[in-house]
Structure 1
Amino acid sequence: MTDLVLVAGAWLGAWAWDEVAAELRAAGHDVHALTLSGLAERRHTQPAGQRTHVRDVVEEVERLGLREVVLVGHSYAGVPVGQAAGRIGDRLRRVVFVDANVPVHGESFLSGWPSGHARRTIDAQGGYWPPPGPEEYAGQGLTDEQIAHIVGATPHPGVTLTEPAVLDRPLDELPATYVKCLLDGDEPMPAVTALLGSDRWELVKLDTGHWPMFSQPGALARVLHEAAARPRPT
C-alpha cells in the first residue's frame, strides 16, 4: 500500500491523527504522523519559523526513505506541506489539503484574511498564538472533550504564520486532493478555487467541521485511502 505523512494544523501535534492513523493502518497503509517543531512534544525545540516547518516535512520523507508518498496537511499545515510537496520531486504521489490554507508565493498564512486580532494576540503573547477559547468551536461537530483537547494544545509559534511562502514549483502542477469541510463554509477560499481549475486537482467534500480527524475520523480515513489509490498523473 502507500506511505502517508500526516501533519495537523496550528496548535496540534501528531497525537491529533491517532484515530485516522489507526484506520489507515488497518487498511494496510504505512502512516507517519509528524509533529512540527515548536509544538506538542517538540515545543522545546529550536525557535520555529515557517521554513523550519517545511524542512520538518522534507526531512521526514528523506529520513524514512519514502517513495510514492502522500503528504497530508490540515489547516495551517497546508502551507508548509504544500511547499514541501514541491521539493521532494518524484518521491511525491499526491498531496492532500484537509480544509487547509494553501501556500501562495510571497504571502504568509495570515495574508488574505482579517488577521489584525491574531497579530495583536501573537504580540501580546510573546510571539505565540494560543488556541481560541471553547466558544470558537461551536457548530463544528466536536464533543466537549474534543474541544477541551484542542483548547489545551500548544500555543503556536507566531513567526510561522507571518513568514512568506516560497514555492519551488507551481501548486497546480502537483497531483492534489482538496478536502472541503462544509460546516466551516460551503466554498473553498479563492486561492484554492483557482487551483481547482487544474486537471491535476480534485475536490472532495465532507459534511463535518474544520477538525475532521476528531469529528469524523473514519470518513476522513476513507478519503485519504481513496486519494492514496489515485494513479500518479503522467
Structure 2
Amino acid sequence: MVNFVLVAGARLGAWAWDDVVPHLRAAGHGVHPLTLSGLAEKQGVPAGQQTHVQDIVDEVERHDLRDVVLVGHSYSGVPSGQAAGRIGDRLARMVFLDSSVPADGEPFVATWPDGGTAMRATIAENGGFWPVAPATHFEDHGLTDDQIARIVGGSTPHPGATLTEAAVLDGPLGDLPATYIKCTLGDPEPSDDVAELLTGGRWRLIEMDTGHWPMFSRPGELARILIDAAGA
C-alpha cells in the first residue's frame, strides 16, 4: 500500500479527483486529495507560492504519511515539486501530471511566452486573482460538455501570488524519483525543461492519449497509471 496525495491544478480543489479516488481506494491504497489555500472550500485564505508548498507538507505530516506518491497536476507541479524535496524519506515517488515543474528562483509564469507579463496584468485587473477560465478553454481536450460544465462550475479564482512568487528548491529536481505523465492530445511533446529532466536517469515518461484534465476525461485509466507508477 502507498499513500497518494493528489493536488489538482489552478482554480481546482480536492473535488477534482472525485472520479479517481474510488479506483485508488479499491486497489487498497490510502488517498488524500488536497485543496490548496485560497481555492474551493478554502477560498478567502491568503496564499502565496510557499503557502501552497506548506499546505502539501502539512498534509503529509498531519496524517504521518509514509510511502507517499505525490501527484501534482498542471500548476500544482510547481508547489508539489518543492514539497517533494521537503518530506524526505516519506516520499516514494513524485508524479508530475501534465504539469509545470519548479525551477529554483523562478515563478510559475516564467515559462510563459511573454515571461508572464499578460498574466500579471490579468491578475492585477482582477483583484489579485487569476479568474476562472471560460468553457471554451477546455474544448479539444477529450472532455464532454457535462465534464466541461463540471470543471467550470467547480472552479474558483486562483490566488495570483502563487503564480508570480519564485519557487525555492531544496535540491536538484532531477534527483527526485519521478514519473512525468504527458497528456498528448493537442500537445504531444514534453516542454524543454521536462525533456532535459527526463535524460537524468531518475525520471520516467508515460503518455496518455487525452487532454490536460485526465482526472475528468480518463479517471480509470489515470488511476491505473498512478498505481503502476507507484510500483516503479
Scaled by the length of structure 2, what TM-score is found?
0.96
Asked if 1:142 is matched to 2:143, the reply is yes
In structure 1, what residue type is equivalent to 2:54?
Answer: R
Q: Which moved more, 1:138-147 or 1:158-167?
A: 138-147
Q: Which moved more, 1:49-58 or 1:182-191?
A: 182-191
In structure 1, what residue type is equivalent to 2:18?
Answer: D
Q: CA deviation at 1:116?
A: 3.0
Contact 1:11 1:150 in 2 (8 A): no
Q: Which residue of 1 aligns with 2:173?
A: 171
Q: Which residue of 1 aligns with 2:219?
A: 217
Q: Which residue of 2 aligns with 1:28?
A: 28
Query: 2 CA distance for matches of 1:198 and 1:93?
Result: 18
Query: 2 CA distance for matches of 1:50 and 1:69?
Result: 21
Query: 1 CA distance for matches of 2:215 and 2:224?
Result: 11
Q: Which residue of 1 aligns with 2:193?
A: 191
Q: Which moved more, 1:100-109 or 1:129-138?
A: 129-138
Equivalent residues, number: 229
Asked if 1:200 is matched to 2:202, the reply is yes
Query: 2 CA distance for matches of 1:106 and 1:116?
Result: 17
Q: Secondary structure at 2:109's aligned position in 1?
A: coil
Query: 1 CA distance for matches of 2:145 and 2:179?
Result: 30
In structure 2, what residue type is equivalent to 1:13?
Answer: G
Q: Which residue of 2 aligns with 1:65?
A: 64
In structure 1, what residue type is equivalent to 2:112?
Answer: W
Q: CA deviation at 1:137?
A: 1.3
Q: Secondary structure at 1:197's aligned position in 2?
A: helix
Cα–Cα, structure 1 residues 99 and 44, in superposed 2: closer, same or farther, change >3 Å?
same
Q: Secondary structure at 1:160's aligned position in 2?
A: helix
Q: CA deviation at 1:184?
A: 4.2
Contact 1:122 1:158 in 2 (8 A): yes
Stretches of structure 1 lacking an aligned partner (at least 5 in a row):
none
Q: Which residue of 2 aligns with 1:102?
A: 101
In structure 1, what residue type is equivalent to 2:69?
Answer: V
Identical pairs, percent? 63
Query: 1 CA distance for matches of 2:123 and 2:104?
Result: 23
Q: Which residue of 1 aligns with 2:88?
A: 89
Query: 2 CA distance for matches of 1:89 and 1:49?
Result: 23
Query: 1 CA distance for matches of 2:96 and 2:207?
Result: 12
Contact 1:131 1:150 in 2 (8 A): no
Query: 2 CA distance for matches of 1:130 and 1:220?
Result: 27
Q: CA deviation at 1:130?
A: 1.1
In structure 2, what residue type is equivalent to 1:36?
Answer: L
Q: Secondary structure at 2:133's aligned position in 1?
A: coil
Query: 2 CA distance for matches of 1:126 and 1:148?
Result: 25
CA-based RMSD of the aligned residues comes to 0.9
Instruction: Give matches, 1:150-161, under 5 Å.
Output: 150-152=151-153, 153-161=155-163
In structure 1, what residue type is equivalent to 2:97?
Answer: V
Contact 1:4 1:71 in 2 (8 A): yes
Q: Which residue of 1 aligns with 2:121?
A: 120
Query: 2 CA distance for matches of 1:137 and 1:111?
Result: 23
Q: CA deviation at 1:73?
A: 0.2
Query: 2 CA distance for matches of 1:38 and 1:177?
Result: 28
Q: CA deviation at 1:117?
A: 2.8
Q: Which residue of 2 aligns with 1:17?
A: 17
Q: CA deviation at 1:118?
A: 2.1
Q: Secondary structure at 2:200's aligned position in 1?
A: coil
